[in-house]
Every structure is written in C-alpha cells, then in structure tokens.
C-alpha cells in the first residue's frame, strides 16, 4: 500500500528484529512444515515436496529481507507461492475429499506476514488466488460447498492481521514522530556539544597565549618594543585561529610566528576542504606549509585549503625576492611544486 509507513514498519512495532525475528522465523517454518506434511498422505510425493519447499522458501524470504516494504520481486514470489502450492497439492485429490486443504492453512500464515511487511494488497491477491484454486478444484471434484468454504477459512488469519495493521497504523505514525523528534534532539545536542567544545578549546587557547600580555595591559604597565611586537604576532596568531582553524597546530603556529618575526607576511585560509579527508593527508598539508614557513626570510607565504570537491586540496604559495614557488597537495596527498 502506498500509505504504509516505510520509516517505522510493523516489524519494528512488533519487535520482529534481530533475535526475535529469528525465533519468529523458526516458529513460522515449523508451523508450515507441520501443516504441509499432512499432504504427503494424499498427494503425489514430488508435488507435496515441491509445495513444501516453495512455502518454506517463501517463509524465509518474507522475514529475512530487511527492507520495508518488502521489495516487489520478493513480494510477487511470496504472493504467488500460495496458489501454486495449493494447485500442486489439490489437483490429484480423490473424489469424496472431506479434509480441508492444509496448504491453504500454511499459506495463510505466510501471507499474514506479508501484510506485516507492508504489502497488504499483494497478500489479499494471494488469498483470492488460493480461494479461486480451492473453489475450481473443489467444484471439479464434486465437493460440497460447505467443504470448499471450510478449505478457505484460513483467510481469516490474513483478515485478522490486516485489521490489526489498520488499528496499529496511528500508533506507527506516533512512534515515528517520536523517533524523529528524538533524532532531531540528539542531533541538536550533538551540535551544541561540538560548539561548546570548540568554544572551550578556543577560550583555553586564548587564555594560554593572551592572558599574560592582557594582564600587563590591564595593569597599565607601558609595553616595551619587544612586547608590542609580541602583541602584533599574537594578534596575527589569533586571526589564524578564526580564519583557518583546521590549520592551527602547535608546529604550524610556531612556524608562522617565526616567519612573521622575520618580516614575512603570512596568510592562512581554510575554505573547508579538510572535511572527509584522511588525517594523514591533512598532516601532509601542515608539514608542507611548515617547511615553507621555516624556509621563508622575506616576502609572503599564503597557505590555503580549497573548498570541498576540488582535485587540489590545498596550495602553499611562497613569494620571495629571488623566486616564487607554488606547492599543490591533492586529495590523495600527492605534492607537486612549480617555480
């Protein structure tokens, strides 16, 4: 049915997952076998065995496939097995047959589970096909109408499960809404925790690097030329933390501070390309940038992490009086240098 809730199926509502599902499968298979062995007394052995194999296979498929609603190829097979097995076990019934069709009983349980898998219409088509087979064979054999009707009584199993499915559908929707709300709340809490963690990390870093100089300024102490230079370097380092947080490591920050103290203009930019990149590739970029910063004595060094989806992950552009050098690192960690 089109309105079946595919996000939170009846299997979830009934707990038919994991170990419970395997226990239910064993019970279903045992039930099918107990009904189908009764056909061996009045049905040719090959037909009885074929019907038993078909129904037990359908019982496995209708439970073990994890996708809800059940995929159409499996649905068609399960819905068709009941009528086919019924044909196999009734074509050679002798005149005067007075026992119900045991195959119809076994098929009804498989079709009932098909309802639980979100294929109500297909299950009822299977029921109708079984009823037609029983009626045609029964009339051809000259059976009484009461006997024929008694043979299709197992459809009540499918009817009962269908009614339960209709009754439980509002509960399904409510549970799905609750699960969606819980998922959204968990995502919001995770986002908030990540934001709080990043804020705490930045505050701890700011406290570590800026507190001493800020305390001197707050005390009104006149800063020396060296301390003013320290403030300039500190301001640039804090700016790096805002513009390129993924590039800020102890080694790279130290190299950038050293380059700036030698008069090199250093620019770090992060456009988000590190997302989904292995840690070792990120470290490769940091190592290349650190080497360029350590080697620079004049000019400028620009380290940029490009946006996601680019073939080139990051670039390091070193402009010096004697030559310009461009280093590119791709998403696989390969390094290429052009001068």
User: What is the mean pLDDT, run by run of 10 residues, along the chain of 339 residues?
Assistant: 44 62 88 91 86 95 86 94 89 52 89 89 92 80 65 79 82 76 89 84 74 78 78 82 85 91 92 89 93 93 92 93 91 89
d(CA 213, CA 293): 25
d(CA 13, CA 116): 10
Q: What is the pLDDT of residue 8?
A: 47
- Bridge partners (DSSP) of residue 330 are 312
| pTM value surpassing 0.85 | no
The single-letter DSSP state of residue 120 is H
Q: What is the pLDDT of residue 151?
A: 62
6 Cβ partners below 8 Å, 6+ apart? Answer: 68, 69, 118
Q: What is the pLDDT of residue 147?
A: 59
Q: What is the pLDDT of residues 242-268, one digit of tens each?
A: 788 888 888 998 999 899 999 999 999
d(CA 166, CA 8): 14
Q: What is the pLDDT of residue 18?
A: 67
d(CA 188, CA 142): 69
> Using CA of residue 216, residue 220, residue 226, residue 231, what is the dihedral sign?
positive
Say whether 291 sits in a helix, a strand or coil. helix
* Domain residue ranges of the chain, discontinuous segments joined by +: 10-183, 243-338
Give the rounded distance of the alpha carbon of 201 from its chain centre: 31
- Bridge partners (DSSP) of residue 300 are 265, 319
d(CA 244, CA 198): 13
Q: What is the pLDDT of residue 10?
A: 54
CB neighbours (10 Å) of residue 289?
30
């Amino acid at each position: 049915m089109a309105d079946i809730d595919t996000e939170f199926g009846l299997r979830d509502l009934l707990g038919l997952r994991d170990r419970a599902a395997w226990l239910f499968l064993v019970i279903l298979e045992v039930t099918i076998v107990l009904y189908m062995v009764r056909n061996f007394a009045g049905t040719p052995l090959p037909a009885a065995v074929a019907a038993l194999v078909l129904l037990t296979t359908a019982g496995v498929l209708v439970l073990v496939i994890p996708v809800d609603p059940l995929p159409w190829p499996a649905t068609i097979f399960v819905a068709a097995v009941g009528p086919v097995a019924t044909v196999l076990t009734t074509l050679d019934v002798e005149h005067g047959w007075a026992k119900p069709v045991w195959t119809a009983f076994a098929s009804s349980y498989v079709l009932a589970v098909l309802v639980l898998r979100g294929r109500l219409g297909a299950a009822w088509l299977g029921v109708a096909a079984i009823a037609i087979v029983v009626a045609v064979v029964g009339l051809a054999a000259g059976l009484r109408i009461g006997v024929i009707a008694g043979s299709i009584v197992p459809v009540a199993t499918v009817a009962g499960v269908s009614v339960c499915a209709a009754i439980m559908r509002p509960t399904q929707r409510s549970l799905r809404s609750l699960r969606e709300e819980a998922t959204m709340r968990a995502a919001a809490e995770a986002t908030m925790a990540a934001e709080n963690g990043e804020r705490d990390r930045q505050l701890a870093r700011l406290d570590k690097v800026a507190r001493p100089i800020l305390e001197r300024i707050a005390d009104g102490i006149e800063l020396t030329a060296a301390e003013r230079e320290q403030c300039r370097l500190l301001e640039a380092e804090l700016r790096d933390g805002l513009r390129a947080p993924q590039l800020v490591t102890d080694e790279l920050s130290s190299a950038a501070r050293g380059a700036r103290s030698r008069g090199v203009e250093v620019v770090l930019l992060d456009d988000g390309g590190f997302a989904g990149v292995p840690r070792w590739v990120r470290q490769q970029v940091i190592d290349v940038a650190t080497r360029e910063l350590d080697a620079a004595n004049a000019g400028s060094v620009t380290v940029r992490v490009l946006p996601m989806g680019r073939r080139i992950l990051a670039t390091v552009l070193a402009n010096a009086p004697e030559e310009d050098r461009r280093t590119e690192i791709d998403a696989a960690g390969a390094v290429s240098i052009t001068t």
